[in-house]
A and B are shown apart, each in its own frame.
Chain A
Amino acid sequence: MNRASSSKSSQHNLIQYSPVLNDLYESEPTLYTVKGMAILDNDGNRILAKYYDKNIFPTAKEQKAFEKNLFNKTHRANAEIIMLDGLTCVYRSNVDLFFYVMGSSHENELILMSVLNCLYDSVSQILRKNVEKRAVLDSLDIVMLAMDEICDGGIILDADATSVVQRVALRTDDIPLGEQTVAQVLQSAKEQLKWSLLK
């Protein structure tokens, strides 16, 4: 019990650093580059969003207020980059989706751009070029996994879309039962039998 609560507090510290460190950000080299990533729909509503720095927008309410503001400022002009609330935000849109990557205003814009491109290209490859809200919602689980592979707690984990997709495009059972190979059917039958025996 005790240990769990201590792990709880440490978890809280994970993506958090003191405001003092934040001021030193420009001079202290760090891998913590990304402040947030978001995918919004064409009404500015959140489809998926992650924030990695507890000091900016600590609660969902502030995050969503920021997203609304960001959307209002960006949905008409396809201008790729904007400064908002002290953050550098790079963005890209397609049909009814908006992709954003946020970083500190001291951050190298081109690094943020490479993360955005990776996010967009990964989603595009996962959805087989069909980058639309409906398609994202249909493959929401895989898109979530992809976002998790691109950035871990603010550190860029991978910025190469092909390798991100390789790590998450795991679904092999898209084929309905009638068209599965004999080996696949046998495998799943074996699984079922094993579990019924173990019960």
Chain B
Amino acid sequence: MNAFKRDKKEEEEGGGNPFQNLEKTTVLQEARTFNDTPVNPRKCAHILTKILYLLNQGEQLGTTEATEAFFAMTKLFQSRDVVLRRLVYLGIKELSSLAEDVIIVTSSLTKDMTGKEDLYRAAAIRALCTITDGGMLAAIERYMKQAIVDRSPAVSSAALVSSLHLTSVSSDIARRWAYEAQEALNSTNVMVQYHALGVLYQARKTDKLAVIKLVAKLMRTSPKSPYAACMLIRMACKLLEDMEEGEDSMLGFIECCLRHKSEMVVYEAAHALVNFGKSGLKEIGSAISVLQLFCGSPKPALRFAAVRTLNKVAMTHPAAVTACNLDLENLITDSNRSIATLAITTLLKTGAESSVDR
């Protein structure tokens, strides 16, 4: 009866979900097709997609099942179909925590990461690093350093992000690869610059002087990437919090970011200025006027961000937020209920009796 109902619903939708009612055992049986030569890329890609779908739905695989599927999957390295190869990388990442002896694919992945095809290299690096343990690290170190300074942004980013993940395998990995990361920091690609900054911070965060030097240098050139700029603002804030006396140049830099062309950076700077204790009234004032502008934005996320931050400042500097009362009153009827609620609670902290009537 139930099945009948479902069929009917599927018909209404115009053909059912091809991934509905998949049986784990059946799919794993189908995975035996991976052993056939020559590999049928279309068919194998479809089966592999089913396995990945099941894992994504939260299906539990036992160690034996996972290992069997993993080993069957390694046979697919014979095929040169790009989509299939990329799905194999995904499969390796998904199964690496479930299957045994996953290091069997190390040489295949190393070959792909040093090969000619850029589309393989970046993804192969990321897959390789998920199966890498302390013992293997030395073997791939040379390739990783090369990949970080590679001219392809995808490859460089993949290597930088992977080296952050590898911190859990070896805590000093970022420091060992810092020289290469420093070079990647000069990249014109916005994401590479961001990832390089993340690795450099990881490498130096225990050495405050080194962080100060890094931040000071970047502040002068002002990173092109908005993500890197946000990260830099956070790093500067962290330094300012620990410093005995406020460093004017850093505070000045954050204030300067209020005029950045990316809203993301402007908001990050305003948020930073109002959130830590050392900014003066002048800085808080300019930050609040930016947030006031955001309150009238057509984008709900921007209004939300602004009112949430104002709500927080109202605790420490209620007088400074009073200037925004009119804008906040407009937000009480906002269609997004979170924004309306935040506006009301902020007004309760700043509003005077006179505004209650309106």
Interface residues of A (CB under 8 A from B): 1, 3-8, 10-16, 27-31, 46, 48-50, 59-61, 63-64, 77, 79-83, 90, 108-114, 133-134, 137-138, 140-142, 144-145, 148, 152-153, 155-160, 167-168, 170-171, 173, 191-192, 195-196, 198-199
Contact = CB atoms under 8 A, between A and B. Distances in A.
Nearest to B294: A110
Given A28-B238, A108-B305, A153-B165, A12 B336 contact: no
A28 B205 CA distance: 10
Interface in B80-131: 80-83, 86-87, 90, 93, 96-97, 100-103, 119, 122-123, 126, 130-131
B191 interface: yes
A167 B119 contact: yes
B268 interface: yes
B49 A140 contact: yes
Given A153-B161, A159-B191, A191-B80, A3 B133 contact: yes
Contact of A12 (B90, B97, B237): B97
Given A11-B130, A77-B335, A144 B165 contact: no
Is chain B's binding surface mostly helix, strand, loop or mixed? helix
Q: What interface size band does chain B fall in?
A: 35 or more
Nearest to B82: A170
Contacts of B230: 108, 111
A140 B86 contact: no
A187 to B, nearest CB: 10
Contact of B87 (A3, A141, A158, A160): A141
B201 A140 contact: no
A134 B133 contact: no
B132 interface: yes
Contact of B133 (A10, A109, A114, A167): A10
Q: Which 3 A-B pairs have the closest CB atoms?
A: A60-B58, A29-B234, A31-B198
B83 A170 contact: yes
A129 to B, nearest CB: 18
30 contacts: A1-B101, A4-B101, A4-B103, A6-B134, A8-B100, A10-B134, A28-B238, A29-B235, A29-B238, A31-B195, A60-B57, A64-B58, A77-B336, A81-B336, A109-B305, A110-B263, A114-B264, A152-B161, A155-B161, A155-B198, A156-B191, A156-B194, A158-B157, A159-B191, A171-B83, A173-B81, A195-B37, A195-B39, A198-B37, A199-B37
A31 B335 CA distance: 32
A109 B230 CA distance: 12
Interface stretch (B15-23, B26-34, B139-147, B279-287): B15-23
Given A31-B231, A171-B83, A192-B38, A109 B301 contact: yes
Contacts of B102: 4, 7
A195 B80 CA distance: 12
Contacts of A108: 230, 264, 267-268, 271, 305
Contacts of A3: 103, 133, 135-136
B78 interface: yes
B47 to A, nearest CB: 11
Contact of A137 (B19, B126, B231): B19
A137 B17 contact: yes
B168 interface: yes
Nearest to B267: A110
